[in-house]
Chain A
Amino acid sequence: MNRSELLRVRVAFFVLGLVPVFLAGWLGWVQVAQAGEVQGRGAVPLRLIPATADRQAQLSESVPAPRGSIVDRNGVVLALDCETYEVRADIKVPRGVCRDVATYKTWLAQLVDDLALALSDDTTLADRNDARRHHAERLAKVFQREFKTASLPASGPVPKEPKELQRAELLVAGGVDVLSVIEALRRLPEQRRYATVGLHFLRSFRRDWPERALTHGLVGTTGTRWLKKEGGAATLETFGVCGLEATPELSPEAAVARHFLRDGEGRPYFQAPLPDMHAAKVLHSTIDIEMQRIAVRELTAQAERGAREGKVTIPKWGALVMVEIATGDVLAAASWHRDVKNPGAASFTPLQALFEPGSIVKPLVLAYAHEAGVLDWGHVFDCAPGSADYRERIAKLGRAKGVRDDHDCHDLSAHGILVNSSNIGAAYCGLLLSREQWNGYMGFFGFGKTLGLGLPHEPFGGPHKLSFAANKSMREFRANSAISFSFGYELMVTPLQMTRAYLRMLRGGKADLRLSRGLAIDGVLQPNGGETVAGGAFRPEVVDAVRSALVDVVSRDPKATGTYLHRDMLKELGIDLHGVIGGKTGTASSNVLIKDRGTVNVRNASFVGFLPADNPRWLAMCVLQKDDSAKFYGGTYAAPPVVRLLLQCQQLEQRRLLHQDSQNGSSGQARGITGTPEDSGWGRGAPETTSVGR
């Protein structure tokens, strides 16, 4: 190597050696000379440390926790969370577009149109053009509001103030869950002209109720409200409004965050998957959706029967309830209202409708008196109006309004009083109880007390507030309250309270209704009581005596109040109900205050029935209230849906026992849903397809 070559090599290496020197110098300049803080756009200075760089590169998205599912007693899903997106846009108008107002407006209008086109990219829509127009109109209003385009001059460049003219963040759409729409939206920012548009897909849940029409009151609904947090921020909170949705255990847990990285242009980088959240909670209700379906159908059919032909008037409201006696499980509870446009907003009559029960309390009164030892079941009373017994026991008390029966009765034992539904006989029995015993009666059967189901907006009803007033004389109490209580007046109950009262008569004073079988957390069911022997039960001979009388209510006996039911069902179904179903009819007339109408005389037709008659397993009750002058009776009007429901329930149970019914649902249809109810979908990746059935 000669001197010249050596020189060239040295120069080359010297130049190359300058590179690391430059890098070291630049590093020193940035890290040392300019170390410290820079004044960012915000008020807080930005510290020039590695953590700042990491923080700027790292983003996180909030993933809300699901509320959880509600399933019926066979695992059919009644409420669940569906994963959806809330799509928000961070739009920065390009500088080139801001040079001219006309170009600016055209660019925004084009963006609105493209967003509307993406949102209507759903082939299942009946009219996509209409949907697109609807989205375009809505988004145009949102853009106008957020970009403050009203402050734009007619022509010339777009002013730099207000800043909203250049940049805005707005909600594009909520509840987006159609794949083609999501994909169309994701493609939008990939277009060159929308390089400054960022679309953020925020994860959220939409509550869905697959059997909505059947379960408005029972399963209930949810609502949302803004909840203020510390520091002035506010978040949307979903809460249960009514029904099982209001169960506090279904309140969702705190949202979790998933972290990811982004490059200088905001493109997301994978950092880690979402950590596994707890499996969604599953509330196992006691409802049997197939029986609920039958109950809703029977109640609706009965309430609307004959109305189309204009033969009869239809009731104001109705309720049909069915429970399993051994556990107190509410299997079905149907609600019906006249002239209701939105069934979801109407009251849930089994829980919320108060009414005077009338004669259906007589078995309870007689059972309580017999258990208390004041009533001899075999004693014969002279129930004829104006008889010596009547004068001695009732008339002499000075009651303002006499006691009458629908049909004249004569000598009746307790059994006969129930079969004939004699008001006079029931009054004789009621007068055997002292005021303290009547108080105990109210407590034992739970009148005026909560059902303890945890459902909101529950009225308690109970005896009239003056019935047990301390200043009321014993004579006055006996003349009015004791006699009225005996045949179901001066007392307000709800259908579910009345059902619980019968349950307690059959099982004992501690028996309660149950609507939730338990809550499964992480797949482990935490049971909610039930199937326990209730304490404070009546003696078996007392229960047997009452049950036997109620079996004879539904018989051929022309004096029995269920004789019309017996005749009609024999004709309709070809079944002799005597010995198959037991029950008690009730018809009450009350004056109630109705909004805009004042005090109105209403009639309540009711029936409580049980099946099988010899060893009751199911208990059902129906109430229908009319607010006009039409005369109708529990035996002919409220009893048929109860009987049909009980018989269909028995058939359904037999089909299930014989495994002739579908394992997944009714009528042979596989009615599964993808993913298990515990699966929140997003929390654990794509769910496996499994069927949820019984």
Chain B
Amino acid sequence: MRWLLAGMLFALAVGLAIHTAALRAENARSRHRIETQYRAVWDRVSEFRRLSVQKLKEASPESLAEAHWAHLRREGERREGFAQ
């Protein structure tokens, strides 16, 4: 009985050691995942800012007028082509 208890305690110690190592590994994996997500958020921040500035520029009266004229030119060319 004494030896059985000693063996079980030893098995428990080994099990604890393995579990601790597993926990630490999982912790590392989670931290790596969080790091990846954290960096993905930064990536999106830069994309977000780029797009917002781009849209702001596209909404300026000058850009809208230019787009409008381009559209009118295209439409004019289309109609001319249709008439011919």
Instruction: Please give the residue numbers on chain A whose beta carbons come within 8 Å of chain B beta carbons, in ascending order.
Output: 9, 13, 16, 77, 80, 82-85, 177-179, 182-183, 186, 201, 203, 208, 210-211, 213, 260-261, 263, 267-271, 273, 293, 665-667, 669-675, 681-682, 685-687
Instruction: Please give the residue numbers on chain B whose beta carbons come within 8 Å of chain A beta carbons, in ascending order.
Output: 3, 6-7, 10, 28, 31-32, 34-36, 38-39, 41-53, 56-57, 59-62, 64
**Does B45 lie within 8 Å of A673, measured CB to CB?**
no
**Does B50 lie within 8 Å of A178, measured CB to CB?**
yes
Shortest Cβ gap from B63 to chain A (Å)? 10
Query: CA separation between A178 and B39, bound complex, in Å?
Result: 14
**Does B56 lie within 8 Å of A672, measured CB to CB?**
yes
Shortest Cβ gap from B3 to chain A (Å)? 6
Q: Report which of A16, A80, A261, A667 forms a contact with B53, defined as CB distance below 8 A.
A: A80
Query: CA separation between A84 and B53, bound complex, in Å?
Result: 13
Instruction: Given A82-B46, A85-B46, A210-B56, answer yes or no on A293-B61 (Cβ-Cβ < 8 Å).
Output: yes
* Apart from A268-B35, A673-B52: 20 A-B pairs, beta carbons within 8 A: A9-B3, A16-B10, A80-B53, A82-B50, A83-B45, A177-B46, A177-B49, A178-B50, A186-B39, A210-B60, A213-B62, A267-B32, A273-B38, A665-B59, A672-B52, A675-B48, A681-B46, A682-B42, A686-B44, A687-B45
Shortest Cβ gap from A530 to chain B (Å)? 28
Q: Report which of A82, A203, A667 forms a contact with B42, defined as CB distance below 8 A.
A: A203
- Which residues from A are CB-within-8-Å of B43? 179, 182-183, 186
**Does B45 lie within 8 Å of A178, measured CB to CB?**
no
**Does A687 lie within 8 Å of B28, measured CB to CB?**
no
**Does A269 lie within 8 Å of B35, measured CB to CB?**
yes
Query: CA separation between A681 and B36, bound complex, in Å?
Result: 18
What residue in chain B is nearest A77 (Cβ atoms)?
Answer: B56
**Does A671 lie within 8 Å of B49, measured CB to CB?**
no
**Does A669 lie within 8 Å of B64, measured CB to CB?**
yes
A-B CB contacts (within 8 Å), total count = 101
Q: Report which of B31, B35, B41, B61 forms a contact with A667, defined as CB distance below 8 A.
A: B61
Sorted nearest first, the 10 A-B pairs with minimum C-beta distance are A674-B52, A179-B47, A270-B35, A270-B34, A83-B46, A269-B31, A270-B31, A177-B46, A177-B50, A681-B45
Query: CA separation between A532 and B48, bound complex, in Å?
Result: 42
- Which residues from A are CB-within-8-Å of B48? 674-675, 681, 686-687
Query: CA separation between A578 and B20, bound complex, in Å?
Result: 91
Query: CA separation between A672 and B52, bound complex, in Å?
Result: 8
Query: CA separation between A674 and B59, bound complex, in Å?
Result: 14
Shortest Cβ gap from A334 to chain B (Å)? 14
**Does A211 lie within 8 Å of B60, measured CB to CB?**
yes
**Does B47 lie within 8 Å of A178, measured CB to CB?**
yes
Instruction: List, sorted by A's number, 8 A–B pairs whose CB atoms are closer than 8 Å.
Output: A85-B46, A268-B32, A268-B35, A669-B61, A673-B53, A674-B52, A675-B48, A686-B44
Instruction: Given A201-B39, A267-B32, answer yes or no on A671-B59 (Cβ-Cβ < 8 Å).
Output: yes
Instruction: Given A177-B50, A686-B45, answer yes or no on A263-B56 (Cβ-Cβ < 8 Å).
Output: no
Shortest Cβ gap from B18 to chain A (Å)? 13
- Which residues from B are CB-within-8-Å of A201? 39
Query: CA separation between A568 and B78, bound complex, in Å?
Result: 41
Query: CA separation between A21 and B63, bound complex, in Å?
Result: 78
Instruction: Given A9-B3, A667-B61, A674-B52, answer yes or no on A179-B44 (Cβ-Cβ < 8 Å).
Output: yes
Query: CA separation between A213 and B65, bound complex, in Å?
Result: 15
**Does A682 lie within 8 Å of B45, measured CB to CB?**
yes
Instruction: Given A178-B47, A669-B59, answer yes or no on A269-B28 (Cβ-Cβ < 8 Å).
Output: yes
- Which residues from A are CB-within-8-Å of B38? 270, 273
Query: CA separation between A667 and B45, bound complex, in Å?
Result: 29
**Does A666 lie within 8 Å of B61, measured CB to CB?**
yes
Query: CA separation between A9 and B4, bound complex, in Å?
Result: 10
- Which residues from A are CB-within-8-Å of B64? 667, 669
- Which residues from B are CB-within-8-Å of A267? 32
**Does A210 lie within 8 Å of B57, measured CB to CB?**
yes
**Does A261 lie within 8 Å of B56, measured CB to CB?**
no
**Does B49 lie within 8 Å of A261, measured CB to CB?**
no
Residue from A85, A674, A682 whose CB has the most chain B CB atoms within 10 Å: A674
**Does A83 lie within 8 Å of B44, measured CB to CB?**
no
- Which residues from B are CB-within-8-Å of A83? 42, 45-46, 49
Query: CA separation between A211 and B61, bound complex, in Å?
Result: 10
- Which residues from B are CB-within-8-Å of A186? 39, 43
Shortest Cβ gap from B68 to chain A (Å)? 12
Query: CA separation between A640 and B28, bound complex, in Å?
Result: 72
What residue in chain A is nearest B45 (Cβ atoms)?
Answer: A681
Query: CA separation between A82 and B53, bound complex, in Å?
Result: 8
Shortest Cβ gap from A661 to chain B (Å)? 13
Query: CA separation between A241 and B73, bound complex, in Å?
Result: 40
Query: CA separation between A183 and B41, bound complex, in Å?
Result: 12
Shortest Cβ gap from A684 to chain B (Å)? 10
**Does A260 lie within 8 Å of B35, measured CB to CB?**
yes
- Which residues from A are CB-within-8-Å of B34? 270
- Which residues from A are CB-within-8-Å of B28? 263, 269
Query: CA separation between A263 and B38, bound complex, in Å?
Result: 17
Residue from A270, A667, A682, A685 whose CB has the most chain B CB atoms within 10 Å: A270
- Which residues from A are CB-within-8-Å of B36? 268
Query: CA separation between A179 and B61, bound complex, in Å?
Result: 28
What residue in chain B is nearest A669 (Cβ atoms)?
Answer: B59
- Which residues from B are CB-within-8-Å of A667? 61, 64
Shortest Cβ gap from B75 to chain A (Å)? 22
Query: CA separation between A666 and B59, bound complex, in Å?
Result: 10
Q: Report which of B3, B31, B53 forms a contact with A210, defined as CB distance below 8 A.
A: B53
Instruction: Given A201-B39, A268-B32, A666-B61, answer yes or no on A84-B46 (Cβ-Cβ < 8 Å).
Output: yes
Query: CA separation between A357 and B42, bound complex, in Å?
Result: 54
Instruction: Given A179-B47, A270-B35, answer yes or no on A685-B62 (Cβ-Cβ < 8 Å).
Output: no
Shortest Cβ gap from A393 to chain B (Å)? 54
What residue in chain A is nearest B57 (Cβ atoms)?
Answer: A210
Query: CA separation between A83 and B41, bound complex, in Å?
Result: 12
Query: CA separation between A293 and B10, bound complex, in Å?
Result: 82
- Which residues from B are CB-within-8-Å of A82? 46, 49-50, 53
Query: CA separation between A104 and B9, bound complex, in Å?
Result: 56
What residue in chain A is nearest B30 (Cβ atoms)?
Answer: A270
Instruction: Given A203-B42, A268-B35, answer yes or no on A177-B47 (Cβ-Cβ < 8 Å).
Output: yes
What residue in chain A is nearest B42 (Cβ atoms)?
Answer: A682
